[in-house]
Copies of this chain bind each other. A is one copy, B any other.
C-alpha cells in the first residue's frame, strides 16, 4: 500500500535484488500498484549500490516505451542483517529525490537498526529523506499489528481509501492496534530489538571459535554462517529449524528475536560444538583406521 501511494501504475520501484518486496511478497507490490515494475539493483550485503541507483533513476525517463522510475525502496536493516548508516540513507535518498523519485523504507527490522546504531529513528527516516515507512512490529513482538508511518503527508488521505479497499481496515482493528501503544511506550520496541541484537552477538561470539565455522559479520539480529554439511544435518536431526539451501551450499541463516533466550543461544552453540567435536573425532578415527590398514 505504501508503494502504491508513491508510484503510478506505469512507474518503477528501485529496490535491491535481495529485497523482500522483490522476492517474498507473491507480487503484492505489483497487485497494489496496479502493475508497477520492480527494478532489481545490486550491492553488497543487500544494500543498494549508489552507482547502480544513479544510473537507474535516469533510465529512459520520459520515454513512453518504458516504466518510469518513481520510488526508491530501502530495507533497514537489510535482508542480510546489514545496517545503512544515516549518511548512507541520506546519500541514496538524495540521489532519488534529486531525480524526482520518492523514498520508501521497509522497516521490518528498523528497531534492530536503531538499536545497532544507537541513533534517533528520525536520523534513519525523515531526516534522511524517507517519505513513507513500513514500521514493522511483527518481527519484534507484535501480533498481526503493524503501522505505516507517513512523513509525506500528501498521501495520507489516499492511503485511507487504499487501506479500506484492500481489506486492510480490519473490523475491530483497534484491539490489534492497541499493541502499538505498549510497543512504543517505555521504548519496549527498542528494548526488544537490543535484546535480539545481543542474542545474535552472543551467538556470533559462541560460534566463531568453533573450528570449521565461518561467519559473515553481523550488525543486527541476523547471522549468516557457513557450517560443514555434517553439522547442518546434525542440527536438523536434533530438531533445530533454520533456513539453509537457499544460498550457497552449507550456508545457514540464524535469526534471533525478542523471545530468544541466552539459554537458546548457548544450547545452539553447545550443539554445534559437540557435533564438530564428534565430526573431528570420527575423522581422526577414520584416518587412524586408514593408517592402521596400510
A residues at B contact (CB < 8 Å): 1, 8-10, 12, 23-28, 30-38, 64-68, 138-139, 142-144, 146, 158, 160-173, 175-176
Check A64–B23 contact: CB distance below 8 A: no
Cα A138 to Cα B142 in complex, Å, equals 20
Q: Give the residue of B38, B64, B165, B172 whose beta carbon is less than 8 angstroms from that of A9.
A: B165
Cα A139 to Cα B25 in complex, Å, equals 30
Q: Give the residue of B8, B166, B171 whose beta carbon is less than 8 angstroms from that of A144.
A: B171
Known: A138-B172, A144-B176, A175-B143. A10 touches B35 (CB 8 A): no
User: 10 A-B pairs, CB-CB below 8 angstroms?
Assistant: A10-B162, A24-B65, A25-B165, A26-B64, A31-B166, A37-B38, A64-B160, A144-B173, A144-B175, A167-B168
10 nearest A-B pairs in the assembled complex, by CB-CB distance: A30-B35, A138-B171, A26-B165, A10-B161, A26-B164, A64-B164, A34-B34, A144-B170, A31-B35, A143-B175
Number of copies: 4
Check B161–A64 contact: CB distance below 8 A: yes
Chain B residue nearest to A137 in the complex (CB): B171
Chain B residue nearest to A4 in the complex (CB): B9
Query: What residues on B are CB-neighbors of A34 within 8 Å?
Result: 9, 31, 34-35
Q: How many Å from the CB of A22 to the closest CB on chain B?
A: 9
Check B64–A158 contact: CB distance below 8 A: no
